[in-house]
Each structure stands twice: as structure tokens, then as C-alpha cells.
Amino acid sequence: VRILFRDVVVLSSHLDGVWRGDVLVEDGRIQRMEKGICEEVHRVIQGDGDYLIPGFVQTHIHLCQTLFRGLAEDLPLLDWLEKKVLLFESKHTPDTIRASAKLGLCELMLGGTTTFMSMETVRYTDVVLEEVSRSKLRGFVGKAIMDRQVGNAPLFEDTEKAIKETVDLIERWDKQGKLRYAIAPRFVPSVKHDTWLEIFKIAEHYDVFIHTHSSENRDEIKLVEELTGKRNVEYFDSMGILTDRMKIAHCVWVDEQEIEMLRSSGAGVLHCPSSNFKLGSGIAPVVEMLREGLNLSIGADGASCNNNLDVFCEMRLAGLAQKVRKGADALPVKEIFRMATLGGAEVLGIADEIGTVEVGKRADLVLLGVKDVFTTPDTANPYARVVYSAGRGNVRIVMVDGEIVVEEGRCLVYDIDEVIRDANSACSSLVE
């Protein structure tokens, strides 16, 4: 199938500024970028100067928590987790988790996210994987591993069962179509020492990532120090598991030594500013981490602590937070745009396939309409228009692997009315 984007303004991290012309997509790849392409195609999409950008990459979310939106308000991390989120997760049934995943996937694609990494809960990850593969998005997904109880939280399981189920899920789902498995030990307090070592062996054997949380909040760090005698990153390093396989959400409270450990290991950092603000956790030292050359990317975390899965919110907040810490020139717009696109692709090891709008790459693309009140005037810095002025309402077309999943703001994969109805009824049964 050949689709031509006619007269679009291309924004992409590898460009100095922008490029205007036609972009031809063929068999899932960007085939040509020239001015005035007159080839026979199946479909022409008129850009008239609208922006063609790489699909956004969100490296840290929880599809299973979309249903908990607005149900866990005004609590700090450990209470939020123990009293609300783990309780809700323990009540999930296959039906409620499916409704949650579908709602999340719709939200992601309607907002221009084409690739994501999601940590699920202890049970029913099969159901989520089914929905992700149906959604056509590029997903890295894994079941949460929790073989140690956190406080009085009702959600934990036997080590042997956790490992067996993880291996079974990897064997059945990893590298099926656009799906990749990512092993998901939840965080240090919920995973036994020997289990980390076992997980690392499995990750090496199957060549998959390890997706976890760390250094999010000061009480959590205190708890980790009580349990291990070390700070989070130091603990990972001491076990010999801190490598470029590790993809670590938050890293809000990391000291200089930990930043150096993250840098030399090549581990990926998954920055979630809204979640860090909303749970009152803190502001991650993004400027320092970028200066040291760390691999940084962006994610919304779950809808239970955000309460959106909106990459535009995350970009805006990522920028503003660093300006408050380090001054107005702390984090330029292009750098923020990069974290939400190519940076995410790099963290997920697929930057040679996606993350920029370049000939030869997979066609994961978003067409943003920029002829509305909110993004005018058109003489503005184009990257600033995307990062600070545009929003999900500007998303016209979303394409994954050359296939259109959102058309003029309408989801083509799911019946949205049905998704909303199912989510509402699933949520009321869960709350009961």
C-alpha cells in the first residue's frame, strides 16, 4: 500500500530545523521524501503545511491502571500503592483488565503515541497482550513480578509461580508481530533478592528488557535502604544486573554516584513528570542526567497517578520543571521533543527503525493539524508549537507501521462508545 503525505512540514530530531515537502509511505516504510512527488498512490493525505512528526514513544505506563483514573487521589507513593492501586489490581478480573487495556490503548493512539512500554499487574497479562496485539500499536509489555509483600498490600505471589509465568509469557508473546516482552519486577521492596538475579538470567537468555521502578520517593528509598542496606541504583549495581537491559522509571532521587552508575551501564531512564508531581515525589534531575549523557525518555506512568496518558502534558511539564530548578534555558524544546520521540526509541533499542521521519524507517507517523487558534501564529518556533501549544486535539492522523489507526481524530481500531461503556461498567464492578 502506498500513501502520500502531500505538502507537510516535517519535524524530526535529526533535522536542524524543519523540512517541507511530500512524504511517500510504502509497505510500512518511509520510501521517499521529496518536493512534488507525482507517483501513483492508493491515497493522498493533504497536509497543506500541517506538521508530520514521528509517532510519540512513551516508555513507562500501566495499561491495567487506566480504569483507576481518579480513584486514588491525594496520597503519597507508598500509601497510594498499598491502600489503593495494589488493592484495585488484586480485584481485577479478565474482563475488567481487558476494559482497562482497551481504554488505555485508545487514549494512547488518539494522543499520537505509537510505541509504549507497559508494566501490567500480577495476573491476566495474557489478556492485555491480546489487546495490545489487536491495537496495532508497538508495545513492550510485561507482567509485574511481586514475590514479597509490601506493607499489608493484598497483591503478591509465590516466586516459582511468578518466574514460571514470566517465562511462559515470553515464550508465547515476545517478538510476535510488533509485540516485545519486557520483564517487570515492580520495584525493590516487592521483589526478593534472589529473584532479581533469576530475572536477569532470564532476560539475558531471551534477550528482553527489565522494566522497573526506582528512586521515586524518599520514603521508598528509606524502605529500600532498610531492606538492602543500599540505595536503589547502588543495589542493582551490586548485584551485577545494572546494564543497558535495565529500563528504570522515575530516578527522581538519584545521587551523583548513582547517575554515574546509570551512565556507565547504559541503563535507560523513564522520566514521568506528571506522576512525580501528582504523588508529591519530587523533580528528577533531568538536566544533570542529560549532561552526563544518560538515555532519557518520557512516559505518563498510569492513569491512576497522572490522570492522563497524554504525552503533550508530559513534554510540557518536563520542560517547565527543569526551568524552575535550573533556569529558563535549562531544557530547550528540541531536547524535550527528542526525549518523547527518538530518545524513547533509543531507550527501547529500536532507533534504527523508528523515532525520526527519515527515508528507510518504519512509518510510525503523526500528522498534527496546526491551523487552529491554539497553535497560531505559524511563524512561531515549530518545536515550541508542538511541545508547549499543541495538544491531543491537534492529532489528525496516526500511522503505525504504515497503517492508519487514527483518522481526523477518530479511532479506526476500536469502537470508542463501546470502549467507554465497557470501562464504566468494569470500573463499577471493580469498585463494588
Residues that bind Zn ion (CB under 5 A): 301
Backbone angle region of 295, left / alpha / beta, with phi > 0 → left and psi within -120 to 50 → alpha: beta
Residue closer to Zn ion (CB basis): 135 or 306: 306
Residue closer to Zn ion (CB basis): 237 or 301: 301
Give me the least distance between CB of 305 and Zn ion, in Å please: 7
Give me the least distance between CB of 105 and Zn ion, in Å please: 17
Residue closer to Zn ion (CB basis): 198 or 301: 301
Q: How far apart are CA 228 and CA 366, in angstroms?
A: 45
Give me the least distance between CB of 189 and Zn ion, in Å please: 14
Residue closer to Zn ion (CB basis): 276 or 341: 276
Q: Which of 380, 310, 296, 355 is nearest to 17 (CA)?
A: 380
Helix, coil or strand: residue 286: helix
Strands (E), 143-219: 144-145, 180-185, 209-214
Residue closer to Zn ion (CB basis): 302 or 382: 302
Residue closer to Zn ion (CB basis): 305 or 399: 305
Give me the least distance between CB of 104 and Zn ion, in Å please: 13
Residue closer to Zn ion (CB basis): 50 or 301: 301
Phi, psi of 53, deg, nearest 5? -130, 165
Nearest-10 Cα torsion for 63, 68, 69, 73: -130
Enter the C-alpha cell of residue 363: 512509518
* Residue partners of 213: CB distance under 8 A and separation at least 6: 119, 186, 187, 248, 249, 250
Residue closer to Zn ion (CB basis): 174 or 301: 301
Phi, psi of 136, deg, nearest 5? 80, -5
Give me the least distance between CB of 396 and Zn ion, in Å please: 30
Contact assessment for residue 138 and residue 354, using Cβ atoms and an 8 Å cutoff: yes
Give me the least distance between CB of 35 and Zn ion, in Å please: 44
Give me the least distance between CB of 402 and Zn ion, in Å please: 31
Nearest-10 Cα torsion for 45, 47, 48, 51: 180
Instruction: Please give the C-alpha separations between residue 24 and each of 123, 137, 188, 421, in angstroms, as whole numbers.
Output: 43, 21, 47, 38
Give me the least distance between CB of 275 and Zn ion, in Å please: 7
The alpha carbon of 43 is separated from its chain's Cα centroid by a whole number of angstroms, namely 30
Which residue is closest to Zn ion by CB? Answer: 301
Q: Which of 148, 149, 150, 145 is nearest to 162 (CA)?
A: 145
Residue closer to Zn ion (CB basis): 123 or 213: 213
Give me the least distance between CB of 86 and Zn ion, in Å please: 12
Q: How far apart are CA 60 and CA 180, in angstroms?
A: 14
Q: Which of 160, 164, 131, 136 is nearest to 147 (CA)?
A: 160
